[in-house]
Amino acid sequence: MSTVFCEDGPRFSPWGKEIAYFASLDSTSRYLKREARNGAPAGRVVVAARQTAGYGRRGRAWHSPPGCNLYFSVLLRPELDFFIAPQLSLVAAAALKLALDEDCPGLQIKWPNDLYAGESKLAGILAEMEPGTAGPAFVVLGIGLNVNAGRDDFPPELRDQATSLKIVSGRDFALGALLTVILERLAELEKDFLRHGLAGGIAALINANFHLAGREVILVSGENEIRGRALGIDDAGRLRLATPGGELCSVSAGEAHLRKVHS
């Protein structure tokens, strides 16, 4: 274990649990899921300076170069129904937005769980749930935030799609201080979510900063594709779409791709 990369960072999470820092891990989420199965408490956080096999949604690799970005996972054990637990990724997206707002205003949330600066992805969130008897046994929230990476730190195929706080704002950020603020906002919003659901203000925050708002999307969900204009999310975290036929529909899971609209 190493504390070298994040010495300015917190030692305990806002849930009062020790934060584990590693110089290198295959994946903070994979590591934390193992700890969770062995009984680690809610609020445990694992951070790595780099990941050798970081992953995102649909098994995609999460590019994790050393020392310049935040890669961390948070263990939650919420008392929730199975079908509500996926909304925690929206809670995390809202927490990131709030935490970064002062330093980097104008960031937007792309349903279901990415943070965008302009048309480039700044952060990705992956909520993984392990089933228990009456609800999830635990949820591991994995967050990758590009902080001080320069353009050359991204592989060529990502350079047009990804960005970092440094590229957006022109300055460096202290990783530990940033982690503190993000975890604080996450703990606050988790509390709010457990009391009021997304309706307590989180859905409104997301809709006010919604990357897809009014845009034509193709929603891919399993074998199905739905085309429509994205309107926002509802209080259950579903994407609201207006289809070309004028119908309104809400979709709870999938990937939203922006459609190129030719004029």
Q: Among residues 244, 248, 246, 218, which one has the least CA distance to residue 231?
A: 248
Nearest approach, Cβ of 221 to ligand BTN (angstroms)?
Answer: 16
Q: Tell me which residues touch ligand BTN (CB under 6 A).
A: 27-29, 51, 54-57, 60, 62, 71-73, 114, 124-126, 142-144
Residue 89 Cβ vs ligand BTN, minimum distance, rounded to whole Å: 9
Distance (Å, whole) CA 144 – CA 173:
15
User: Minimum distance from CB of 161 to ligand BTN (Å)?
Assistant: 11
Tell me whether residue 76 or residue 125 sits nearer to ligand BTN (CB atom): 125
Nearer to ligand BTN, 29 or 209 (CB): 29
Question: For ligand BTN, which is the closer residue by CB, 110 or 238?
Answer: 110
Q: Which is nearer to ligand BTN, 57 or 229 (CB)?
A: 57
The residue among 51 and 209 lying less far from ligand BTN, judged by its C-beta, is: 51
CB of 46 to ligand BTN, least distance (A): 9
Selection from 30, 56, 60, 47 nearest residue 130 by Cα: 30
CA angle 130, 144, 43 (to 5 degrees): 50
Q: What's the closest the beta carbon of residue 262 comes to ligand BTN, in angstroms? A: 28
Minimum Å distance from CB 97 to ligand BTN? 15
C-alpha pair distances (Å), 155 with each of 21, 63, 162: 25, 8, 10
Of 47 and 251, the one with the shorter C-beta distance to ligand BTN is 47
Give the Cβ contact number of residue 220 at 10 Å. 13
Q: Which is nearer to ligand BTN, 114 or 153 (CB)?
A: 114
CB 73 within 8 A of CB 32: yes
Least CB distance to ligand BTN at residue 24 (A): 13
